[in-house]
Structure 1
């Protein structure tokens, strides 16, 4: 099976208000676990949210397109089921992947700075047509094309999603190039946090990978 991971950048003009909310805190994120479009064109969605619950829900209540929602607690996050009448570019974006052979590999990760990324399984030769249907001015970048191996583990190591994000960004900005062409500050800018936080994510992620390699 062929696997493609894609990242999208939504400018403020076409960004959902709750996506904008993630800019307010370091490390805040929401992961879309599953969604469905109902016959009345409402989208019902299930999210895992890492952000202050009451502040998040206060902002959510102010959005006219949200018909209703309910929540459930988690260990370090909370779960949100919402009914949203999206419309506009965001609905067009989701619609680009409807009626295709692509299967999304959850979660669809929403991050600060209007970033959204997810993986899909399907024929790479059809990817160009799908991505061409993504509306302007959403930017698209393909992060990886390869074989699907299943799971969400890296080299046998248990990493947090934030550590994985920092490691991927570090490779992308040249932090692991020889000679090094990117800095911790570049990683921090890429993932929307402070340099000290980015450095901590990198150190913990690297330690987990080295430990898993030496134990293997």
Structure 2
């Protein structure tokens, strides 16, 4: 089975209000565990939320498309079941995958900066069409392509936010071009750190990615 991990970046104009909320705290995130459509087109979702519960729910009550919700406690987080009416770019985003054979590998992880990432299993020949149907101005980044070996690990290699930022900057400045056109110093300038710190982030991230790939 072919596996691809994709990250999408939603600019503020098309970002869900609760996704926007994650910018207010360090390390806050939500994980979409499962979902389904009801006959009336309502989207029912189950989230694991890593954020202050009362602040999150206070904001959630102001989101008009949310019809109702219920919560349950969890370890260092809480669980949220919500009923929502979607529309616009978010509706089109979900629709890009509806007529394909792709299956999502949970969790679907929402982070600060409008980032959303998840894994997909499906035919490689359908990937281009699915991603081309993603509405603008949502940005698409393919983070990984390979064979699916099962388990939660492939749904997200354990990188820190600083390591991910260093990898993104490295790709952007040409550090991974062949031949290489960017340096560690360029990466350091992009992430506002010293070259030694940027180099350490890159080495640790690369080691984690290699280990994950070879353990498939």
TM-score category, normalised to shorter length: 0.7 to 0.9
From the superposition, tell whether residues 169 and 149 of structure 1 become closer, same or farther in structure 2 (CA, over 3 Å): farther
Asked whether the equivalents of residues 169 and 190 of structure 2 are also in contact (C-alpha less than 8 Å), the reply is no
Q: Distance in 2 between matches of 1:48 and 1:84?
A: 16
Q: Distance in 2 between matches of 1:187 and 1:107?
A: 31
Aligned equivalent of 1:172? 168
Report whether the alignment pairs 1:106 with 2:106.
yes
Q: How many residues were matched structurally?
A: 193
TM-fit CA distance, 1:165? 4.8
From the superposition, tell whether residues 187 and 110 of structure 1 become closer, same or farther in structure 2 (CA, over 3 Å): farther
From the superposition, tell whether residues 3 and 164 of structure 1 become closer, same or farther in structure 2 (CA, over 3 Å): farther
Q: Find the residue that maps to 2:108 and give its secondary structure.
A: strand
Q: Distance in 2 between matches of 1:184 and 1:120?
A: 33
Report whether the alignment pairs 1:57 with 2:53.
no
Asked whether the equivalents of residues 3 and 120 of structure 1 are also in contact (C-alpha less than 8 Å), the reply is yes
Segments of structure 2 that go 5 or more residues without pairing to the other structure are 177-181, 212-216
Q: Distance in 1 between matches of 2:82 and 2:20?
A: 17
TM-fit CA distance, 1:37? 1.1
From the superposition, tell whether residues 167 and 152 of structure 1 become closer, same or farther in structure 2 (CA, over 3 Å): farther
From the superposition, tell whether residues 121 and 19 of structure 1 become closer, same or farther in structure 2 (CA, over 3 Å): same
TM superposition score normalised by structure 1? 0.78
**CA-to-aligned-CA distance 1:34-92 (integer Å, 9 cap, x gap):** 11111111100000110000000000001111000000111111100000001111011
Aligned equivalent of 1:183? 188
Q: Distance in 1 between matches of 2:71 and 2:144?
A: 33
TM-fit CA distance, 1:173? 2.5
Map residues 53-132 of structure 1 onto 2, 5 A cutoff.
53-132=53-132
Asked whether the equivalents of residues 65 and 85 of structure 1 are also in contact (C-alpha less than 8 Å), the reply is yes
Aligned equivalent of 2:179? none
Give RMSD over aligned pairs.
Answer: 3.0
Q: Find the residue that maps to 1:22 and give its secondary structure.
A: helix
Q: Distance in 2 between matches of 1:96 and 1:152?
A: 24
